[in-house]
A = this chain, B = another copy of it.
Amino acid sequence: MQINVSANVEVAVVGLGLMGCSIVVSLLASGHQVVALAPILGEKEKAINHIVDLLRHADRSNLLSKGLSASVEALKVTDDYRDIATCKFVQECVIEDKEIKKVVYEKIEEQVSGDTIIATNTSAIPISELQTFVSHPNRFIGVHWAEPAYMTRFLEVTCGVKTGTDTATYVMQLGGIWGKEPTLLKKDIRGFITNRLMYAVYREALTLVENGDATMEDADKVFRYDVGSWITLMGIFRRLDFTGFADYIDSFEGILPKLSNRTDVPDLMRPLVAERARGIHNGKGFYNYNEKQAKAWEEAFAQFNKEIYDLATRYTEKHIREKVYNEEKKLSKI
């Protein structure tokens, strides 16, 4: 591995939709020089404005390691692939279309050197499949971000069958520099970790509502107020450690056979997709939204996200380990 793992690495983001812009801001916040490449005609101007808006938001939240003006200076927005020639890490986040991604990879590889890592933000297409499109598959990897990229710790790193171990190690280290808590999936399983876990919930919740066993509103409340009250601190396995296991054999034996095992798209979902419902984005969803309501929810999410990010900062594993360590140090002095 010749590349130096630090914020001095020049990086690029290809694809400047909402997610791409948000990733650009996360990389700038960490101190990188960032080339933001708009592969779609006319995307460039819109992206510049959006990135600067997000940078201001990140600045108000004290997330820019170099401050606002230096971060703006470290940014180059372009539609010319030649500008990424010196980048050692390229994050692709164009739409989920194999043919388009294939063309984008060809254009990237025409410019960058063979030791450059190309990462895809896909959450739907297997990494091993996309890997067949590039000439250095060992340096190709999945790096899946969550929105807003500069204000979540989530980063899901996924290897394809041909991804090199050193590539994975390098990206995990970069993730640390970006302030993430990256996870590493060595096997390219469908849906990665996060989607599999959430689709297990979606399947059960949609089935309960479809069968008339629960209302949508109640399923939402339960998740907000029960699971929500511990999840950010514990995750899944530590939650089980908190509850203790006394009754678990009985509970697993009792509940597992009752859970939905369906493999079809739930009926509740189909009509929404058919009428091109896009939830708060066009007012049609499981709930309906007029313009003001959609805006109120969007604003609430932006604010909430900042608050939960700050809250999570005070409860990382590292924080709790340090607390134990300080306690021990105090005791050893007595």
Binding site for B on A (CB under 8 A): 96, 124, 146, 152-154, 156, 180-181, 183-185, 187, 189-191, 193-205, 208-209, 212-214, 216-238, 240-266, 269-270, 272-273, 277-281, 285-287, 289, 292-293, 296-297, 299-301, 304-305, 307-309, 311-312, 314-315, 320, 323-324, 327-328
* Residues of B with C-beta under 8 A to A154: 221-222, 225-226, 229
Bound-complex Cα distance A328 to B181 (A): 41
Residue from A201, A280, A289 with most neighbouring chain B CB atoms (10 Å):
A201
Q: A204-B200, A234-B224, A243-B279 are in contact. Are A315 and B304 (CB under 8 A)?
A: yes
Pick from B214, B228, B233: contact of A231, CB under 8 Å: B228
B301 touches A230 (CB 8 A): yes
CB distance from A102 to the nearest CB of B (A): 18
Bound-complex Cα distance A3 to B218 (A): 26
A223 touches B249 (CB 8 A): no
* Residues of B with C-beta under 8 A to A183: 214, 217-218, 221-222
CB closest residue in chain B, given A307 = B311
Pick from B197, B204, B225, B277: contact of A196, CB under 8 Å: B204
Bound-complex Cα distance A227 to B193 (A): 12
B301 touches A323 (CB 8 A): no
Q: A224-B233, A235-B220, A245-B273 are in contact. Are A201 and B197 (CB under 8 A)?
A: yes
A259 touches B199 (CB 8 A): yes
* Residues of B with C-beta under 8 A to A311: 304, 307-308, 311
When all copies of this chain in the complex are counted, the total is 2
A262 touches B256 (CB 8 A): yes
A200 touches B200 (CB 8 A): yes
* Residues of B with C-beta under 8 A to A327: 292, 296
Pick from B146, B201, B279, B320: contact of A236, CB under 8 Å: B201
B258 touches A221 (CB 8 A): no
Interface on chain A toward B: helix, strand, loop, or mixed SS?
Answer: helix
B297 touches A320 (CB 8 A): yes
CB distance from A70 to the nearest CB of B (A): 28
Bound-complex Cα distance A154 to B287 (A): 21
- Sample of 10 further A-B pairs with CB below 8 A, known A183-B217, A201-B201, A292-B327: A146-B229, A154-B229, A187-B213, A203-B259, A220-B235, A223-B231, A245-B273, A256-B264, A296-B320, A311-B311
A225 touches B312 (CB 8 A): yes
A218 touches B189 (CB 8 A): no
Residue from A156, A227, A292 with most neighbouring chain B CB atoms (10 Å):
A227
Bound-complex Cα distance A297 to B273 (A): 43
B195 touches A251 (CB 8 A): yes
Q: A193-B214, A240-B202 are in contact. Are A235 and B229 (CB under 8 A)?
A: no
A214 touches B237 (CB 8 A): no
A219 touches B197 (CB 8 A): yes
B304 touches A233 (CB 8 A): yes
* Residues of B with C-beta under 8 A to A226: 146, 152, 154, 156, 194
B152 touches A280 (CB 8 A): no
A235 touches B223 (CB 8 A): yes
A227 touches B222 (CB 8 A): no
Bound-complex Cα distance A249 to B265 (A): 6
